[in-house]
Homo-oligomer: A and B are copies of this chain.
């Protein structure tokens, strides 16, 4: 068995659902557990829901809580699911916290997992893999790639992540 991992859930498009009574998107429970079953994951992984928010609503207090939970976890490899719009800001907050010895990989989705044609399952497989083999540090895993926290931005017009350098 490989080393244990933690997945910290914070919300984002990844986990949005469609409310058929109101016609709005909303959060209920995370789909990460179901996705791990679908992916036939045999990793020793612990899933913790830290919050369920749209990343445009992520506050400094929310980021502080994510940092605190990453610090508190005993696992050395951590995947954080996060909305894509402010994922880079949260990566920066995690890097500033100097969580030595930990490999932290943020990931998310452009399409909600519940909507069938989502990139979420691909991204989760990718992020969990990067988290197992990258050296300690803070990374973003999107579009099949990994980026160092200080060399990445989201191009909102095209909906993709890219290096800033």
Contacts and interface: CB of A to CB of B under 8 A. Distances in A.
A157 interface: yes
Interface string A123-165: 1111111101110000001111110000000001111111000
**In which size bucket is the chain A interface?**
35 or more
A6 to B, nearest CB: 14
A129 B119 contact: no
A17 B165 CA distance: 34
A114 B117 CA distance: 8
Given A35-B122, A123-B125, A129-B146, A160 B116 contact: no
Of A18, A125, A134, which is in contact with the most chain B CB atoms at under 10 Å from its CB?
Answer: A125
Contact of A126 (B18, B20, B128, B134): B128
Nearest to A124: B122
18 contacts: A13-B20, A18-B111, A18-B112, A20-B111, A21-B156, A23-B25, A36-B144, A39-B119, A39-B143, A40-B119, A42-B145, A114-B117, A115-B116, A121-B121, A123-B125, A129-B144, A132-B145, A133-B146
Contact of A42 (B13, B127, B144): B144
A97 interface: no
Contacts of A117: 38, 114, 116
Interface in A90-127: 110-112, 114-119, 121-127
Contact of A144 (B20, B41, B133): B41
